[in-house]
Structure 1
Amino acid sequence: MLAKDGSKRISEGYDDNPATHYSWDSTVPNHATLKVGDVIALWDATELAGLSVIEDITVGQGEKETPYCLKCGKADVAERKQKLPRFVCWNQECKHENDKAGWKKKDVVTYRSRHEAGWIDARGTLSAPQLRALCVKPASQNSLRELRFDDFHHALTHGGVPLPLRIVDTTQRAIAEGHGTATIRVRKGQPAFRKHLLEVFGEVCAFTGPAPVQALEAAHLYSYAANGKHHKGGGLLLRRDLHRLFDLGLIAVHPQSKTLHLDDSLKAYPDYAKLDGAVLTVPVTADHGKWLAKHWDMHRPNLSAASVPGQTAPAETTVIA
């Protein structure tokens, strides 16, 4: 999916927010091929922005006014914002430029995906040429184009900047199973939510202890089924880098002992390796424990809590009723 500020899509009125939703209509090639449960990759014509799983598609009706080229007659015209002539034809065989365009109205079917729960930011992993090469039709100019998913998956998990895809894999499985499994995500909370957490916990990272307030983010835990809603006991403050690693499942919290469990890939880095087995630095409630347990089940599905060596509940761990 192409989602780019200043692109022809924006000038045509499409509503895009790569991390949460994407819109298109029946004038777009491949418009009817997308379905709930599909993995999607969003890019900005320069690099891969991220990927997720479609949770829901809202279908509606609308009227669309579109420009067409006065020379070739094709509805393939983009409106410039800073350069003249105002309109340019995107048809490779035409490329006509003009201060005017023809306009026509037509009834269209509108589509809007929602895909926030499984979102993984992937900037810095694949460039535009690398992404194009992974398409079924690399030379396609369509906004919606099909990927060779197995090759795409391999490129992300085995590339120069390997990207764990547990969130996407688990979200896709949850949707296929009718939402029988909760998908838990961490996201940057709204300012009010972060302020509340600072009032509760102080300037303290739940994983490492006291930290500058500028480095702390609100880790907001929420369920797939209630996407985006605040939940009791659903937040902790985390240092920015640890928030990202927790989001990717490279760090999880043992459900019973409330100690940290690191993915083996992090143990090569001394500053992170020393956190393995460390106790949470803040008191947590039973509600926190519920959300953290679901995060564990998502990212450690093949590792039962009882099987982790040395993970017995320490006396100093505080649980608030």
Structure 2
Amino acid sequence: MEDAMSETRAWLALTVTERRRHGGNDGYDDVPDVYYSWDDTVPHHGNVQVGDIIVLWNKKELIGLSVIEEITRDTEVKFVYRCPYCSKGNGIQTRQTKRPKYTCYRCKSEFDQPTVHEKEVQTFRSRHDTGWLELPGCLSGSELRNLCVNPKSQHSFRLLDWAAFTAAITAKAGVLATPILNSVRDHVVGGHKERTVRARIGQATFRRRLLELHGAVCAFSGPTPIPALEAAHLYSYAAVGQHHERGGLLLRRDIHRLFDLGELTVHPGKQVIDVAPLTATYPSYARLHGQSLYAPLDPIHIEWLTKHWDLHRERSQNK
């Protein structure tokens, strides 16, 4: 575990609940638990890689963290705003109540209209929803700054001291992030991106068929609104490449993630839910341990679930 942690590269990335704005441009859209956006005007834009940890904050506190599963690239033309007096873009601040509307903290000028230029930029969007861990308020903004390799950095991406960060959240919340995140990284290295793309083919039909068979019921937690239910494969879709009707169950989105990671599984003999120790520290999941499923299991289900059990419980016991 220590070797894996020493090789981990983690980035502290600034986000907000609404569109993330920057004084010199129209900003970036983020969905914190799904994706993060930036472009080549951002320092370290090319250093962030698949397999890195992304830790999101809103300047005031920690929001959550995950593993970057993929990064999509594109180009677009964006509007860049500059101070009409000193021509600097990174010093512009928008004022909500005072007038003039804009101020430049570099030259201290105030103005109603900045100068506008068009610029072609390369855009980046990371996908990181599989291993997302919600940790709102676990660490304050000042604590996060001090855990950066360069605490005085003002960049949107700041390199974190990963060992110090994980020690801090463990001390504060008793949460051991590394086992789940290392498991996600194993999926990424093993071809998770291919699985993500291939699973789209026929996925809607697969889900619709499971809804017909089981109704609006999460197999692990019970009746659930349909929009929150996902069709979970009990096997590796990347390896099999086909949707098997009896090779899937409907699971709530968060439970689906934890099942894929092996944090939740089913004891093939007792046919009850087994919750791994890390996830069992959360009461809402600990309640599932030892409970029977809400969906009937046939021999094919049990065959797939046995393989899932052998893979994840044998692996955890051998660590």
Aligned partners of 1:193 and 1:218 also within 8 Å? no
Match of 1:85 in 2: 100
Number of residue pairs aligned between Structure 1 and Structure 2: 291
Task: Quote the Cα distance in structure 2 between the aligned partners of 1:7 and 1:270.
Answer: 33
Change in 2 beyond 3 A, CA 1:142/1:197:
same
Q: TM-score, normalised by structure 2?
A: 0.70
Deviates more, 1:129-138 or 1:109-118: 109-118
Return the match for 1:16 from 10, 24, 30: 30
Aligned partners of 1:253 and 1:296 also within 8 Å? no
Match of 1:52 in 2: 66
Q: CA deviation at 1:57?
A: 2.0
Q: Deviations over 1:229-253 (max 9, x none)?
A: 9984544356x99789768865432
Deviates more, 1:80-89 or 1:121-130: 80-89
Task: Quote the Cα distance in structure 1 between the aligned partners of 2:281 and 2:107.
Answer: 55
Aligned partners of 2:64 and 2:135 also within 8 Å? yes
Which structure shows the higher helix fraction?
2
Return the match for 2:39 from 25, 36, 54: 25
SS at match of 1:36: coil
Q: CA deviation at 1:147?
A: 0.8
Change in 2 beyond 3 A, CA 1:288/1:125:
farther
Task: Quote the Cα distance in structure 1 between the aligned partners of 2:54 and 2:220.
Answer: 32
Match of 1:166 in 2: 179
Aligned partners of 2:265 and 2:308 also within 8 Å? no
Code of the aligned partner of 2:229: A
Aligned alpha-carbon RMSD (Å):
4.4
Matched, 1:112 2:145: no
Q: CA deviation at 1:71?
A: 3.5
Aligned partners of 1:124 and 1:161 also within 8 Å? no
Change in 2 beyond 3 A, CA 1:21/1:278:
closer
Matched, 1:301 2:315: yes
Return the match for 2:293 from 266, 280, 290: 280
Q: TM-score, normalised by structure 1?
A: 0.69
Question: Any gaps of 5 or more consecutive residues in structure 2?
Answer: 1-12, 197-204
Task: Quote the Cα distance in structure 1 between the aligned partners of 2:95 and 2:71.
Answer: 30
Task: Quote the Cα distance in structure 1 between the aligned partners of 2:40 and 2:182.
Answer: 29
Task: Quote the Cα distance in structure 1 between the aligned partners of 2:186 and 2:250.
Answer: 27
Aligned partners of 1:48 and 1:125 also within 8 Å? yes
Q: Deviations over 1:193-226 (max 9, x none)?
A: 99976654357553466x6x57995254366859
Task: Quote the Cα distance in structure 2 between the aligned partners of 1:70 and 1:43.
Answer: 32
SS at match of 2:295: coil
Match of 1:218 in 2: 229
Identity, in percent, stands at 39
Return the match for 1:38 from 44, 52, 55: 52
Match of 1:318 in 2: none
Change in 2 beyond 3 A, CA 1:70/1:172:
same
Match of 1:99 in 2: 112
Task: Quote the Cα distance in structure 2 between the aligned partners of 1:57 and 1:266.
Answer: 28
Code of the aligned partner of 1:88: T
